[in-house]
Structures are given as C-alpha cells and as structure tokens.
C-alpha cells in the first residue's frame, strides 16, 4: 500500500509541475521533476533562464512551492538541486 500511495503522490506532483511549466517557459525557463523523497520533499531541476536567474530561488519558493503545497498539502517543500 505504501508504494501505491507513493506512486500516486508522485503522479500528482508531476501534474502540478506540468501546470506550472508554461509560466516558467514563458520567461525562457523550465522545470523538471527529479524525485520525491521519503519525507515528501520534491526535488526539481530548474533549466533555461531559471537555472541562472538571480530570482530563481524566490520563484521556486514563492511560486512553485506555494502552488505545490496548495494543491498537495502533504508536500513539505520543493527544492532545486541546481541552485
């Protein structure tokens, strides 16, 4: 049951990322899902202009993480592996 719930949550996380992606792409950036940790932290990779933008941390926390936690309250945080 644990694995099934994990797969379901991962699928939901990926859906939220797909909903956020067009907003980042509009500014020349992108985001890619990397993993969902056992403690419900979502690891992502920011690409394109998001990877080098000085405001990428703010975008990640105030935009991506906020949207993710609103849609999926069980998610603790969203972290970029390349910031």
DSSP string over 10-23: HHHHHHHHHHHHHH
**Structural domains in the chain, sorted by start:** 2-80 (3.30.300.130)
Q: Residue-wise pLDDT tens for the chain (83 aa)?
A: 468 899 999 999 999 999 999 999 998 999 999 999 999 999 999 998 887 788 888 889 999 999 999 999 999 999 999 75
pLDDT at 83: 56
Q: DSSP strand E in 15-80: where?
A: 29-36, 41-48, 77-80
Start-to-end Cα distance in the chain:
34
The strand pair at 41-48 and 29-36 is best described as antiparallel
- What's the pLDDT score for residue 1? 45
Q: What is the pTM of this model?
A: 0.90
Q: Which pLDDT score is estimated for 30?
A: 94
Sequence-distant (≥ 6) Cβ neighbours of residue 51 within 8 angstroms: 29, 45, 82
């Amino acid at each position: 049951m644990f694995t099934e719930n994990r797969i379901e949550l991962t699928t939901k996380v990926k859906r939220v990322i797909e909903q956020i992606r067009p907003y980042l792409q509009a500014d020349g950036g992108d985001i890619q899902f990397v993993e969902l940790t056992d403690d419900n932290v979502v690891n992502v990779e920011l690409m394109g202009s998001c990877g080098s933008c000085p405001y990428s941390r703010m975008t990640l926390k105030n935009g991506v993480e906020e949207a993710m936690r609103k849609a999926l309250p069980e998610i603790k945080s969203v972290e970029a592996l390349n910031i």
